[in-house]
Structure 1
Amino acid sequence: MTWSPQPNSRMCFVCGLQNPAGLKVRFYEDGKTVVRAEVVIPAVFQGYPGVAHGGVVAALLDEAAGRALMIGAPERFMVTAQLSVRYHHPVPTGQTLLLIACPLRVGSRLARARAELRRLDGTLCAEAEAILVNVPPEI
C-alpha cells in the first residue's frame, strides 16, 4: 500500500510545523479510506508521570478525524461539532504510537469520522467518533 503525505499547517497545535509548543504530527493517507500518523507524545504533555494528558489525546483524535475527511480532498476543511472520546488504556509518553482514522459518512455539510490511538503492539488506548461541519465562511 502506498501512503501519500497530507499537507501540514504552520501553527496548528497538532500538525503545525512551525508551532514551537505543538506536536508537529505528519499525516499520511492511502488515497481511499484511511489516514494514519506515528506520534510520540513528549513528557511535557503528561497528566501523570509517563501518561499523556487526556486533553492532548483528545486533540490528536480530533485532528485525525478531521484529516480523514480530507482524504483525496486536501482543500476540504471542517470543524468539530461533537467529539465523543473513550479512553481504554493509559497513553504512554515518549513512545511511538499509531494514530488511525477513517470517514464514516460524508455529506455536503456534515460528516462523521472515527479515530483511534494505539500502541505499536496493537493495544487500543483511546478511540473517538466525531461529527464535523464545514468551516464557517467567516473563518
Structure 2
Amino acid sequence: MELVLIDSLSLVSPETSADDLCAVVKPLSHQHCMLCGTQNLLGLHLQFFSTADQQVWARAKGSIHQQGYQGILHGGFLSALLDSGMCQALFQQNIEAVTADMSIRYLHEVPLNSDILIKGKIISSRYPLYKVEGELYVAGQLVVKSSARFMAKGFGKK
C-alpha cells in the first residue's frame, strides 16, 4: 500500500519518500467509519498516512457503486472522501472532532474507476474549533478541494 501511495503522491509532492510516511492511528470510537473504519464490512477501509509536514494522505478508487451521472463519480462521494481526509488530519494530532461546516469546490469531473489521492491538513487550531483543508487529486491534477471547520467531539455536552 505504501509504495502505491508513494507513486501517486510523487505526482503532487515529489520530495516525499516511503520513509517519510507514518500510519495515522484512528481512535477506537472511529473503527466503524464507512470510509476508514477497519470494522465496517461494507466500508472502503481507507488507510491514511502522515508526512513530516503534518499532512495526511490516502488512496481511494471510485467504482460504479459511487456513480452520479453516467461515468462520473457522485459529488457526495467525493465530499465524503474530503471529509475523511480532513478528519484524519485531526486524528494525526490526537484530536477527535466532528464536521461543523464544509465548503467544496468541484474543479473537474472525476471519472469512474479513477485512482484518487486524498490530502488533508490542519490550517488553524483554536479549541474547540479547527480549520482544516482537503484536496483530491487524479493523475496529479487537483480535481476537488474543500475547507471546513470541525468542532471538538463532545464539546458543549451537558
d(CA) in 1 for partners of 2:43 and 2:105?
23
Match of 1:14 in 2: 35
Structure 1 residue 104 corresponds to structure 2 residue 123: yes
d(CA) in 2 for partners of 1:55 and 1:104?
23
In angstroms, what is the RMSD of aligned CA positions?
1.6
State the TM-score, normalized to the length of structure 2: 0.78
Q: Which has the higher strand share?
A: 1
Asked whether the equivalents of residues 69 and 106 of structure 1 are also in contact (C-alpha less than 8 Å), the reply is no
* Residue type of the alignment partner of 1:80: T
Match of 2:88 in 1: 67
Runs of 4+ in 1 over 2 A off after TM superposition: 7-10
Between stretches 105-114 and 8-17, larger displacement belongs to: 8-17
Q: Which has the higher helix share?
A: 2
Unpaired runs of 5+ in structure 1? none
Structure 1 residue 18, shift from structure 2 partner: 2.8
d(CA) in 2 for partners of 1:39 and 1:45?
12
Match of 2:76 in 1: 55
Asked whether the equivalents of residues 41 and 52 of structure 1 are also in contact (C-alpha less than 8 Å), the reply is yes
Structure 1 residue 127 corresponds to structure 2 residue 145: yes
Partner of 1:19: helix, strand, or coil? coil
Structure 1 residue 87, shift from structure 2 partner: 0.5
Asked whether the equivalents of residues 13 and 24 of structure 1 are also in contact (C-alpha less than 8 Å), the reply is yes
* Residue type of the alignment partner of 2:144: A
In structure 2, do the counterparts of structure 1 residues 17 and 50 end up closer, same or farther at CA, with 3 Å as the change threshold?
farther
Unpaired runs of 5+ in structure 2? 1-16
Match of 1:29 in 2: 50
> Number of paired residues?
135
State the TM-score, normalized to the length of structure 1: 0.88
Task: Give me the identity figure in percent.
Answer: 29
Asked whether the equivalents of residues 25 and 91 of structure 2 are also in contact (C-alpha less than 8 Å), the reply is no
